[in-house]
Structure 1
Amino acid sequence: MRRSHKETKESASRITRRGLIVGGAQAAFLGVLAMRMRQLQVEEADQYRLLAEENRINMRLLPPARGLIFDRHGIALAENAQNYRIVIVREDAGDVDATLARLSRLISLSPEDLEKAEKELKRRSSFVPVTIADRLPWEDIARVAVNAPALPGVTPDVGLSRNYPMKEDFAHIIGYVGPVSDYDLSKLEDPDPLLQIPKFQIGKSGAENRLEHLMRGKAGFKRIEVNAVGRVMRELDRKEGESGANIQLTIDAGLQNFVQARLRGESASSVVMDVRSGDLVAIGSTPSFDPNLFVRGISVADYRTLTENKYRPLANKSVQGTYPPGSTYKMVTALAALEAGVVGVEDRVYCKGWIEKGGRRFHCWKRSGHGQVKLKESLMRSCDVYYYDVAERVGIEKMSEMARRLGLGERHDIPMSAVNGGLAPTKAWKREQRGAEWVVGDTLNSAIGQGFVLASPLQLAVMTSRIATGLEVQPRLVKSVNGKEEPGGPWPELGISERSLKAVRNGMFAVSNNTRGTAYRTRIAADGMEIAGKTGTSQVRNISKAERARGVFRNEDLPWERRDHALFVAFAPADNPRYAVSVVVEHGGGGSTAAAPIARDIMLRALYGELPPLEAYPSDQRAAAQEMMDKLELREIALPDDGKVRA
């Protein structure tokens, strides 16, 4: 069908208008594109030039400041000290050997330092900073800064490093930090990205390790611009991390220092506990070590010295060490028998020096025997035969149940490394662990804290606190976190009758205050501060029948490792208990001669809050007490108000 001339003309007109619209739109688009290209290539050329070279924006983590640790009075125990160090970037240094040679003329660098630095420089990328020396004095940093033009690629730097100002005193409590290892990472299912930071330090032992989740803090970050090979071009912005929580312990730094000083020279441990709150105010273990050595990277020689010492300075004997508790366990046996009704306070047991059961003789420590003995005398004079007799009647199950009620055979939840649960044995335990049936001899040995029974100094302190109060006191090491008090008490009652507890307390009082008591010589003479205690001596060797016939070897005649352990537990004041103390001296001999004097000195220091007056000692012992105090190597401890007190 043919169009008319008019229709053809109108159609052409419409096509022309559409063409103009499309052409105009294209022209406008090209104009905008041209303007944007000019803006990118001319006006913003500097901003995008680095990106054009394949630069990219990276996020880098910033390690937070680690939380601090204080004692109960606010004295710093673990702090973050400024660490001045020198770093070098290989690509900026040019001739690295020449630069290091010039640097070594300005600061002291050992051949070992230089060799270590050269290995690290070869291992790292050329643009990664490598630490040449750290923990430098400000004078060295200033000297390097002044000579910067002659030291290309060398830069003074400052960071934070862990420092333990009390050194050996708190090594076993606080522990130490160290760089994250592959082993550390292997133990974690979803490790914190912070742990990937080179040389980032985490808690390796003690409270540093157990409270790591609180003290580590949260990472900050910085945005940096790096090129295709990872070299940092510039920092764009940063956000600092969140510092870790500050921890306040229940420990008294002054008392802790005294305990460590008093135990020095022995392979020993001691725990002091507030019987009302459960606060652990001192936890001593000797010999000790300087945890700062591990932070800085302990040398092979120093580490060998620690590991080859027969007194085991790396072991925390106060919570990790478990020992046969010896006669300190007799309170457990006595309470079990009293509560079971198998013996009364006034009942007597005849001790002739031994008792025979199952064709075997079980001997008392006193060869001639103690004669007729009541409960109070059995504790006061530590008669073994009395406890052999009542143990056979009460049985191991009730004895071990009482032990657990008093805190033995239980792993107490405090933030320290390798806290041991000890052992309160049962018939089922022996069957499962030893593949043998329980026999009466096992019960008799357990009655006097020998055989399978094991307890740590911490557990013995808990036991003594519970006897002193009749409450289920739990030990507490952390007082507050970021100023917020941690829960502690009130404690429920043990469920032991006051009559039974009073009978045992009276026996413990007689141990230290009756002239026939095994610890009478280590009594406290000050009125109102009398101590109630119990001596213990635990054998580490079997005494044969032949040895008994010719006479038992004295401890001093035996090699150190074959001597008996010496133990003592006590609470004071006897009529209004405030503190409980336990002392274990490994291979120390007798509890009355080796452990009790130490425990009394520690108790007096705790009660007085300072070195005790000589009047607190019996008159004939005051000269010896003064000599002991003069020999102690005590620290001067700076209080938070900047005052000075002698520990």
Structure 2
Amino acid sequence: MRRTARDTEESARRITRRSLMMGGAMVAMFAVLGARMRFLSVEQADEFRLLAEENRINMRLIPPERGLIFDRNGVLIAGNEQNYRVTVTREAAGDVDMVLARLTNLIPITAEDMERITRDLDRNSPFVPIIVADRLPWEDFSKIAMNAPTLPGVTPEVGLSRQYPLIEDFSHVVGYVGPVSERDLEERPNPDPVLRIPEFQIGKIGVERWMEETLRGSAGNKRIEVNHVGRVMRELERTDGIPGRDIQLTIDAEVQNFIQARLGEESAACVVMDVNTGELIACASSPGFDPNLFVRGISQRDYSALMEDDHRPLANKTVQGAYPPGSTFKMVTALAALEEGLITPETTHSCPGYIEFGDRRFHCWKRGGHGRVDLARSLSESCDVFYYEIAQEVGIDKIAEMGKRLGLGIRHDLPMSAITEGIMPNRAWKQERWGQDWRIGDTINASIGQGYVLASPLQLTVMTARIATGRAVVPRLIRAIDGTPQPMPEAEPLGLSGTNLRAIQNGMYEVMNTQRGTAYSSRIADDTMVFAGKTGTSQVRNITAAERARGVISNDQLPWNRRDHALYVGYAPYDNPRYAVTVVVEHGGGGSAAAAPIARDAILRALHEDIPPLTAYPANQRGRIETDLNALREKLRDVTQSGNSRA
């Protein structure tokens, strides 16, 4: 059929319309492709060129800022200071030996440093930065920055390093940080990647170690652009990490500082605890050490000096030290007998200076004996024979049960290192430990805190706080985390007879406040702060029968390490207890002479919240005390100035 002109014209219009639509689509498609090509080839050219040239966009972890540690009043105990350091990345450095040789011309690098750097380079991946020099002075740091173009793979960095401004005062409680070791990594099933950064530091002992996860925070990361010689050109992207959380301790830095200074050069420990809350107000171990030495990398010479010191400055004697508690244990024996109804406060025993059991003689510390004594006098004058007698009636199992009830033989859960459980022995313990039956002689020795019995100053403080309150007070060291107070459950009653507790408390009162009391010279003269306590002396050597016959050698005539340990436990005020205190002076001799005076000063400092006033001391002692306190003020001033210069 012949097409009309109209049909032909219509067909041509349709073809033209379709051609235009197809042409438009093709133009749009080419426009999109062109725009994409321009974006990739022009706007993204630099990045793709860098990616093509040996992956020059690197990812690096950013160490988090470590949380701070404060005392109960906001005094900084562990902080962070600005630190200039230099790192090298093997992948970017190329000829590492050449780069390190150039660095030695700019900054001091010892042979020991070079050995460490080489070791770290071999141990870690090529793209991990290795610390070449740390804590550089600004002059050396600026030399590296100025010569950066000639040092491929070398990066000058500004970071943070741990610092302990109060030096020795908190060395045992807070501890210190140090580089991550292989052992640290092995202890963690899935270690945080930030721990693999060379020279990254984590807590090694004390609060720094046991609160590591809280203090460390989370790492951030950054994408950096480097050129063909490894020099950092620019930072492309940064995701900041999450800083560690701040921790506030229960310790009062000023009380801790006072006690640390008061302990002086003694090998000793002192613990002060709030009897109502369990908060540790002071936890001082002497001598201390400078934790900053470990942060910076302690020298072999300094470390050897610490290890060889017979006063053991690295040991935290407050929680690690396990000592025979001596006569400070007599309250446990007495309470066990009272609770079993075997004695009353009026029960008396005659002390001729010893008892005989079998073929052995057990001596009282007073050679001529005390005569007939009741419970209060047995405590105030520390008669041993009274406790030999009642211990045979009550038996070791009941004594051990009471000891644990009062906090002995238990590992108290605190974020400090190497906390001892001590030993609160019973029949089963000796059979399990030594494969031997318990003997009456063992009970007699244990009744006065000798033999197998061992306790730490912390445990003795808990015992004293529980006797003072009749409650199961639990020690606490962490007060708040990031400003949030930590739970403080109320201490449950011990379930002990109030009459029996008052009998023990009365005996402790007489120790301090009657003229025949063993610690009468260390009493507090202020009637609102009356002190109650108990002295103790624990033997570290056996006294032979021959020595007793010719006269026991006095402590001051013996070598230091063969002298008795001096102990004291107490609380104040007597009528309304606030604080308990324990002092142990290693090889200090008698507890009344060496430990009780320190304990009095410590508890007065806590009660007064300042240097104790002279009016708190007996009038006949004030001249000597004034001289001692003035000397102590000078010492504290020197320590404060030294700490301020570091802060």
**TM-score, length of structure 2 as denominator length:** 0.88
1:292-318 residue CA offsets vs partner (Å, 9 max, x unmatched): 000000000000000011111111000
Count of aligned pairs: 620
Relative to structure 1, the CA distance from residue 149 to residue 552 in structure 2 (aligned partners, 3 Å threshold; closer, same or farther) is: closer
Amino acid at match of 1:371: G
Return the offset for 1:562: 1.2
Q: Return the alpha-carbon distance in structure 1 between the equivalents of residues 39 and 143 of structure 2.
A: 48
Instruction: Give secondary structure in 1 for the equivalent of 2:173.
Output: helix
Q: Return the alpha-carbon distance in structure 2 between the equivalents of residues 188 and 97 of structure 1.
A: 34
Paired residue for 1:213?
A: 213
Amino acid at match of 1:625: I
Relative to structure 1, the CA distance from residue 222 to residue 544 in structure 2 (aligned partners, 3 Å threshold; closer, same or farther) is: same
Q: Return the alpha-carbon distance in structure 2 between the equivalents of residues 620 and 589 of structure 1.
A: 24
Instruction: Give secondary structure in 2 for the equivalent of 1:474.
Output: coil
Q: Return the alpha-carbon distance in structure 1 between the equivalents of residues 100 and 428 of structure 2.
A: 70
Return the offset for 1:84: 2.0
Relative to structure 1, the CA distance from residue 47 to residue 171 in structure 2 (aligned partners, 3 Å threshold; closer, same or farther) is: closer
Return the offset for 1:583: 0.3
Say whether 1:103 aligns with 2:130: no
Paired residue for 2:167?
A: 167
Say whether 1:443 aligns with 2:415: no
Instruction: Give secondary structure in 1 for the equivalent of 2:527.
Output: coil
Return the offset for 1:191: 1.3
Return the offset for 1:46: 3.6
Q: Return the alpha-carbon distance in structure 1 between the equivalents of residues 370 and 206 of structure 2.
A: 46
- Between 190-199 and 585-594, report the one with greater CA deviation: 190-199
Amino acid at match of 1:426: N
Relative to structure 1, the CA distance from residue 92 to residue 525 in structure 2 (aligned partners, 3 Å threshold; closer, same or farther) is: same
Return the offset for 1:238: 1.3
Amino acid at match of 1:273: M
Paired residue for 1:529?
A: 529
Q: Return the alpha-carbon distance in structure 2 between the equivalents of residues 100 and 59 of structure 1.
A: 25
- Between 154-163 and 77-86, report the one with greater CA deviation: 154-163
Paired residue for 2:475?
A: 475
Paired residue for 1:270?
A: 270
Amino acid at match of 2:349: V
Amino acid at match of 2:323: Y
Equivalent pair of 1:88/1:132 in contact (CA under 8 Å): yes
Q: Return the alpha-carbon distance in structure 1 between the equivalents of residues 241 and 31 of structure 2.
A: 44
- Between 23-32 and 464-473, report the one with greater CA deviation: 23-32
Return the offset for 1:424: 0.8
Instruction: Give secondary structure in 1 for the equivalent of 2:528.
Output: coil
Paired residue for 1:7?
A: none
Amino acid at match of 2:106: L
Paired residue for 2:603?
A: 603
Return the offset for 1:359: 2.6
Q: Return the alpha-carbon distance in structure 2 between the equivalents of residues 517 and 550 of structure 1.
A: 28
Q: Return the alpha-carbon distance in structure 2 between the equivalents of residues 213 and 579 of structure 1.
A: 32
Say whether 1:325 aligns with 2:325: yes
Paired residue for 2:85?
A: 85
1:73-97 residue CA offsets vs partner (Å, 9 max, x unmatched): 0000000111123456755999647
The 5-angstrom pairing of residues 236-385 of structure 1 reads 236-385=236-385
Q: Return the alpha-carbon distance in structure 2 between the equivalents of residues 362 and 392 of structure 1.
A: 13
Q: Return the alpha-carbon distance in structure 2 between the equivalents of residues 156 and 56 of structure 1.
A: 19
The 5-angstrom pairing of residues 108-119 of structure 1 reads 109=108, 111=110, 115=114, 119=118
Amino acid at match of 1:62: I
1:603-633 residue CA offsets vs partner (Å, 9 max, x unmatched): 1111111111111111121122122223322
Q: Return the alpha-carbon distance in structure 1 between the equivalents of residues 389 and 251 of structure 2.
A: 41
Q: Return the alpha-carbon distance in structure 1 between the equivalents of residues 185 and 120 of structure 2.
A: 25
Relative to structure 1, the CA distance from residue 118 to residue 347 in structure 2 (aligned partners, 3 Å threshold; closer, same or farther) is: closer
Return the offset for 1:52: 3.2
Q: Return the alpha-carbon distance in structure 2 between the equivalents of residues 190 and 245 of structure 1.
A: 21
Instruction: Give secondary structure in 1 for the equivalent of 2:444.
Output: helix
Amino acid at match of 2:617: Y
Q: Return the alpha-carbon distance in structure 2 between the equivalents of residues 71 and 77 of structure 1.
A: 7
1:213-263 residue CA offsets vs partner (Å, 9 max, x unmatched): 111111212234679999877543111000111000000000000111111
Paired residue for 1:429?
A: 429
Instruction: Give secondary structure in 1 for the equivalent of 2:162.
Output: strand
Equivalent pair of 1:254/1:637 in contact (CA under 8 Å): no
Q: Return the alpha-carbon distance in structure 2 between the equivalents of residues 487 and 45 of structure 1.
A: 58
Amino acid at match of 2:636: L
Relative to structure 1, the CA distance from residue 513 to residue 141 in structure 2 (aligned partners, 3 Å threshold; closer, same or farther) is: same
- Between 621-630 and 597-606, report the one with greater CA deviation: 621-630
Paired residue for 1:387?
A: 387
Paired residue for 1:14?
A: none
- Between 54-63 and 75-84, report the one with greater CA deviation: 54-63
Equivalent pair of 2:51/2:57 in contact (CA under 8 Å): no
- Between 604-613 and 629-638, report the one with greater CA deviation: 629-638
Paired residue for 2:7?
A: none
Relative to structure 1, the CA distance from residue 426 to residue 528 in structure 2 (aligned partners, 3 Å threshold; closer, same or farther) is: same
Return the offset for 1:369: 0.6
Equivalent pair of 1:326/1:538 in contact (CA under 8 Å): yes
Instruction: Give secondary structure in 2 for the equivalent of 1:580.
Output: strand
Paired residue for 2:576?
A: 576
Equivalent pair of 2:148/2:155 in contact (CA under 8 Å): no
1:79-128 residue CA offsets vs partner (Å, 9 max, x unmatched): 01111234567559996477446524xxxx37457745874797589987
Return the offset for 1:152: 4.9
Amino acid at match of 1:325: P
Paired residue for 1:519?
A: 519
- Between 500-509 and 221-230, report the one with greater CA deviation: 221-230
Equivalent pair of 2:130/2:198 in contact (CA under 8 Å): no
Q: Return the alpha-carbon distance in structure 2 between the equivalents of residues 330 and 295 of structure 1.
A: 44
Return the offset for 1:71: 0.1
Return the offset for 1:516: 0.2
Paired residue for 1:634?
A: 636
Paired residue for 2:410?
A: 410
Q: Return the alpha-carbon distance in structure 2 between the equivalents of residues 551 and 638 of structure 1.
A: 47
Relative to structure 1, the CA distance from residue 111 to residue 198 in structure 2 (aligned partners, 3 Å threshold; closer, same or farther) is: closer
Q: Return the alpha-carbon distance in structure 1 between the equivalents of residues 435 and 257 of structure 2.
A: 46
Q: Return the alpha-carbon distance in structure 1 between the equivalents of residues 222 and 446 of structure 2.
A: 63
Q: Return the alpha-carbon distance in structure 1 between the equivalents of residues 159 and 444 of structure 2.
A: 61
Paired residue for 1:542?
A: 542
- Between 155-164 and 231-240, report the one with greater CA deviation: 231-240
Instruction: Give secondary structure in 2 for the equivalent of 1:174.
Output: coil
Equivalent pair of 2:117/2:130 in contact (CA under 8 Å): no
1:363-400 residue CA offsets vs partner (Å, 9 max, x unmatched): 10011110110000000000000000001001111111
Instruction: Give secondary structure in 2 for the equivalent of 1:542.
Output: coil
Q: Return the alpha-carbon distance in structure 1 between the equivalents of residues 433 and 229 of structure 2.
A: 60
Return the offset for 1:155: 5.6
Instruction: Give secondary structure in 2 for the equivalent of 1:161.
Output: strand
Q: Return the alpha-carbon distance in structure 2 between the equivalents of residues 180 and 339 of structure 1.
A: 52
Paired residue for 2:6?
A: none
Relative to structure 1, the CA distance from residue 520 to residue 93 in structure 2 (aligned partners, 3 Å threshold; closer, same or farther) is: same
Equivalent pair of 1:113/1:133 in contact (CA under 8 Å): no
Relative to structure 1, the CA distance from residue 233 to residue 492 in structure 2 (aligned partners, 3 Å threshold; closer, same or farther) is: same
1:61-82 residue CA offsets vs partner (Å, 9 max, x unmatched): 2211111000000000000111
Paired residue for 2:11?
A: none
Equivalent pair of 1:269/1:317 in contact (CA under 8 Å): yes
Q: Return the alpha-carbon distance in structure 2 between the equivalents of residues 363 and 610 of structure 1.
A: 43
Return the offset for 1:485: 0.5
Q: Return the alpha-carbon distance in structure 1 between the equivalents of residues 163 and 385 of structure 2.
A: 53
Paired residue for 2:200?
A: 200
The 5-angstrom pairing of residues 19-34 of structure 1 reads none
Equivalent pair of 2:71/2:253 in contact (CA under 8 Å): yes
Runs (5+) with no aligned partner, structure 1: 1-16
Equivalent pair of 1:117/1:131 in contact (CA under 8 Å): no
Return the offset for 1:189: 1.2
- Between 567-576 and 483-492, report the one with greater CA deviation: 483-492
Return the offset for 1:134: 2.9
Return the offset for 1:151: 6.9
Runs (5+) with no aligned partner, structure 2: 1-14
Say whether 1:493 aligns with 2:493: yes
Relative to structure 1, the CA distance from residue 458 to residue 122 in structure 2 (aligned partners, 3 Å threshold; closer, same or farther) is: closer
Q: CA RMSD in A?
A: 3.2
Relative to structure 1, the CA distance from residue 68 to residue 122 in structure 2 (aligned partners, 3 Å threshold; closer, same or farther) is: closer
Equivalent pair of 1:93/1:99 in contact (CA under 8 Å): no
Amino acid at match of 2:613: P
